[in-house]
Amino acid sequence: MSPAPARERRHLFGVAWPIILSNLSAPLLGFVDTGVIGNLGDAALIGAIALGALIFSFLYWGFSFLRMGTTALVAQASGAGDDGELQATVLRAFLLGLVIGAVILLCREPLAGLAFGIAEGSAAVESAGREYFLVRIWGAPFFLAHLAILGLLLGTQATRAVLGLQLLLNGTNILLDLVFVVGFGWDVAGVAAATVIAEVIAVIAGVVITLKRFPTITNHLARVLEPAALRRTFAMNADIMVRTLTLTFGFAWFTNQGARAGDVVLASNAILLQFVSFSAFFIDGFALAAEAMVGHATGATNQTRLRAAVRAAVELSVAAAVVLGALFWLLGDTVIAILTNVPEVAAACAAYLPWVIAAPFISLWSYLLDGVFIGAGRTREMRNAMLGSLAIYLCAWWVLQPFGNHGLWLALMVFFIARAGTLALYLPRIVRPNQI
């Protein structure tokens, strides 16, 4: 692979750095959530937050097409110069997010019963987790509508606005975590209430930003229900939904297997997954930048810019993985000590830390290729690749069960490798091998 032009690297980095900073605030929120609960001295409460977050991963990220699909379609419309379709795309996603969120809210009691009937944890974990769920669910319409706004801003490469919104969302959440949990002693209910209030504030700010950038956006309401656009949107969204639910199931399986091993293993895995999230959100900044640039190049039918964006994203992602691996190696034990004062949990974290150090190098390829395929609108290939990867992952877990939690972590690494490998098989459909 020939090096990317310096100009393309600068452009991609200029798009990526606000995304990276905004992404880093998300795992920082996870660290604070885990830290304020972890220092209450009860491993079951840490596990409750982990299981509660797992359930919301299914509920919310199954609908992440509201962000991913919007980014791809907006970027392609921008590249094609179709401003009307760009704005209609955002309206479709925003209104759909509100409707889906309202349905989720109305079904909160049966959803809670189903979720905690499937999840495996101790009685103490389930009780606290249910309390967390029934408070946080009130933010569903706001969170899903917010995804559509993020899709608009990412698709138009307005990443500084993305940074502002995410800092507002996560900064408010962190502040309220400290007030509600440390100040008021609300434990898991306080963490959930902080999230809901932050989501409401963020979506209001997002609507204001959207109206300032596109003051005539409501003039395009009539285009929201255009049959051809709806068919394309729903086909893409269905593929992304299957892909995302499959991915979420993979991580849910990981968390649930940890829960079956006991509260200490569940809590230690929850803490170590914060490291994985940190690296994912960091490297994903370059993947999201590539997603927007690949989408724009696809809409403009500019293959030269598409290839240059892919090369630049590879180079910057590899550099980021080196930095992250070094940081986890040097500071991992210190961060663990900050996140929990439960000796058994801290000792378990230290035993499995090497997997976290290796994760950035192994996972970067799957994150990067996800961005390329979303931007190019190749959602069917993404769906098929993820289904195949899940099958490989579960087979690896079955074989590695005798190795306990180490085997579980190794299976997760196999999952990352399978995701990258299966997408790589489809890459020639986007970029011919001799042109990469």
Query: Does residue 389 have a pLDDT over 90?
Result: yes
Residue 32 has pLDDT above 80, yes or no: no
- What's the CA gap between 429 and 378, in Å, rounded? 9
**The pLDDT of residue 387:** 97
Among all chains, which residue has been given the structure tokens 């009860």? 42
Give me the mean pLDDT over the 8-34 stretch. Answer: 79
Domain residue extents for the chain: 6-435
Q: pTM of this prediction? A: 0.82
Q: Give the span between the Cα atoms of 324 and 321, in whole angstroms.
A: 5
pLDDT at 199 over 90: yes
- Spell out the SS3 assignment of 289-324: HHHHHHHHHHHCCCHHHHHHHHHHHHHHHHHHHHHH
Q: In 10 A of CB 219, how many CB atoms?
A: 12
**Averaged pLDDT for residues 250-270:** 86
Cβ atoms of 357 and 330 within 8 Å: the answer is no
Q: Please give the DSSP secondary-structure letter assigned to residue 402.
A: G
309: nearest Cα among 357, 364, 371: 371
User: Which pLDDT score is estimated for 120?
Assistant: 65
pLDDT band of 392, cuts 50, 70, 90: very high
**pLDDT score, position 242:** 93
Side-chain-side CA neighbours of residue 392 (13 Å): 19
Contact 30, 275 (CB under 8 A): no
pLDDT at residue 133 above 80? yes
Sequence-distant (6+) residues with CB within 8 A of 193 are 135, 136, 176, 180, 186
Q: What are phi and psi of 181, to 5 degrees?
A: -90, -55
Question: Residue 30's pLDDT band (boundaries 50, 70, 90)?
Answer: low
Residue-wise pLDDT for 263-300, tens only, equals 888 888 988 998 998 888 889 889 999 999 999 988 88
- Mean pLDDT to the nearest integer, 211-220: 88
Q: How many Cβ atoms from other residues are within 10 Å of residue 397's Cβ?
A: 20
Other Cβ atoms less than 10 A from the Cβ of 7: the count is 10
Nearest Cα to 253, choosing from 402, 112, 57, 109? 57
d(CA 385, CA 30): 29
Q: Nearest Cα to 94, choosing from 12, 211, 258, 9?
A: 211
Q: Residue 341 carries which DSSP code?
A: -
The arithmetic mean of pLDDT across residues 210-230, rounded, is: 86
Q: What is the pLDDT of residue 434?
A: 52
Q: Cα(136)–Cα(207) distance, rounded to whole angstroms?
A: 22
Q: Binning pLDDT at 50, 70 and 90, where does residue 116 land? A: confident
- Read off the pLDDT of residues 313-350 as tens digits, 9 standing for 90 and up: 999 999 999 999 999 999 988 988 888 888 888 999 99
